[in-house]
A and B are shown apart, each in its own frame.
Chain A
């Protein structure tokens, strides 16, 4: 019961936060200079064309009316039409969302799993050469400038060796080939995903490793670890059964806190690799003054972060028995 009440409260909170973001976005996009109509049609448009379009788009109505429409449309799932694509924004978003989710979740999971695992080992071997190597490696890859890392990976693996495609997420030949089965298509997507995934992985596993390592070192100082030692448990049991579950807790928190930050990286990666995702769409739409699309993409990203934060909190509660509903 407590869980439901908690969820209910969180949902209300999320709703309010979301609403504020919604409003801020509206205000921002309206007070900004730049004429969506000019941008929409291009410089060849005549004055008459523009005036007609402005009234058709409702841009000549008072701001607060526009705002009411904006909010109403939002709650009816109608994000309007993209100025650029001329399609309903919601369609574009739904089309791009799975691609982003695929890349983003797999990179977060991969880097978290590997980072946490290596961090555990590194803390355990504190001061040994393997620890120094891992820590240093994590520090170095973690601090590399992400787009540059992407460029270098492209240079080496796509340009020099030609192992991986450089761009996009599918090969047309395969998708046009009626004989290609689902498995082949999946492999193809994966093949395209390797480099962007590798980029995100290299950048982010380091932070997980470092957090896990320090959390683990902190945990190893705890009394219950001493108890476990005194109990004569095998070292591996102490490490995996006693220290790691406790050390993983701060990692979970930091995953939640760094989500918004990782999304920056996701957008950069998508842009460099032309991965057809939300992040790249957002970057494109802002430079096109495609208000509806940029707004929706940003809202979606905020919503994803908000909900993920909730998920992380629940996960934390699940992992830590001290927190129960």
Chain B
């Protein structure tokens, strides 16, 4: 039994033009102390998933069906107040745009202390202070910079500060949404390593959301590949990376540039991600898929289990 189990989750957005099916029938589990990577191109619904777990979808977003079980209890059935208590204390989040995730008018240390004091209001000031200091040490920001305002930090430091904040309450699950986008390769790598170190040290479960499969491959135990709102492939790192079954996963891995690896091959038929307003009933990848057949478009696909922990959403694989 995992710490977090998402079962058959579908999410839609109400827009000017109608209902947008952002996430369709997604299921996965995150085990204690393990990390899950969700990878996919922009607009595939990965951020929506992250927000849905914390029940922070924007106003026009609704969960159409499914369950989100955290520690066995369905988060969707909790009261707002109960949910508020779970946030950060149990599940915290590292946001995509760290640049903007910190409030510009408050000092960084205050923003971290605020998280602590909200959930543990009895904590004495001194303790809060020392805990914040410890967090800064952990993520490698000098203590002298604690009193700064966010705009005085560089991008990497902000990212670290956000990580520090996410760790403040030792949550059991951290959702990291594109934790390293917009950072330089070297900084990115350092932060990823740090993240993994902390996760392992504190035995925290993680969901890492990224468009870069390399990032996910670096950090995660399990990998889920999302395409147009559907979880097209899901399994442990080794099986997904070494034997990708879904054509999209293969395309993603094939497009990955390595030094010294074999040259990539990506078929180009000029097509793009499908319209999520009114998706075809079948596989959403069909018009970019090199092996697509007519039935792919028409009939809904069911996921196929190919290994102990490996599922694929493709009728050709079956």
Contacts and interface: CB of A to CB of B under 8 A. Distances in A.
Interface string B126-155: 000000000000000000000001010000
B216 interface: no
B87 interface: yes
A234 B105 contact: no
B123 interface: no
Interface residues of A, number: 21
Given A246-B104, A320-B104, A321-B105, A232 B89 contact: yes
B56 A321 contact: no
Contact of A242 (B92, B93, B103, B119): B103
Contacts of A224: 100-104
Given A230-B87, A230-B92, A230-B93, A322 B104 contact: yes
A229 B95 CA distance: 12
Given A230-B92, A230-B93, A231-B88, A320 B101 contact: no
A91 interface: no
B246 to A, nearest CB: 31
Contacts of A228: 103
Nearest to A222: B100
Contacts of A321: 104-105, 149, 151
Interface string B59-101: 0000000000000000000000000111111001101110011
B105 A223 contact: no
Interface string A227-257: 1111111100100011001100000000000
Interface size grouping (class) on chain B:
20 to 34
B222 to A, nearest CB: 23
Contacts of A232: 84-89, 115, 118-119
Given A232-B86, A232-B88, A227 B101 contact: yes
Nearest to B80: A235
B54 interface: yes
Chain B contact surface mostly: mixed
Nearest to A321: B149
B95 A226 contact: yes
Contacts of B89: 232
A231 B95 contact: no
Contacts, number: 71
Interface in A199-243: 222-224, 226-234, 237, 241-242
A227 B197 CA distance: 23
Contacts of A319: 105
B103 A231 contact: no
A127 to B, nearest CB: 8
B25 interface: no
Contacts of B119: 232
Contacts of A242: 103, 106
A166 to B, nearest CB: 45
Q: Which of A228, A234, A246 has the most CB of B within 10 A?
A: A228
A223 B95 contact: yes
A230 B118 CA distance: 12
Contacts of B84: 232-234
A230 B54 contact: yes
B114 interface: yes
A318 to B, nearest CB: 11
A233 B114 contact: yes
A230 B101 CA distance: 11
Given A232-B85, A232-B115, 11 more contacts: A223-B95, A223-B96, A223-B100, A226-B56, A229-B56, A230-B93, A232-B118, A234-B84, A246-B104, A246-B105, A322-B149
Q: Which 8 A-B pairs have CB atoms at the shortest separation, nearest pair first?
A: A232-B87, A223-B100, A224-B103, A321-B149, A232-B88, A322-B151, A227-B101, A231-B88
20 contacts: A223-B96, A223-B101, A224-B103, A226-B51, A226-B101, A227-B95, A230-B54, A230-B92, A230-B93, A231-B87, A231-B88, A231-B118, A232-B88, A232-B115, A233-B118, A241-B106, A319-B105, A320-B105, A321-B104, A321-B151
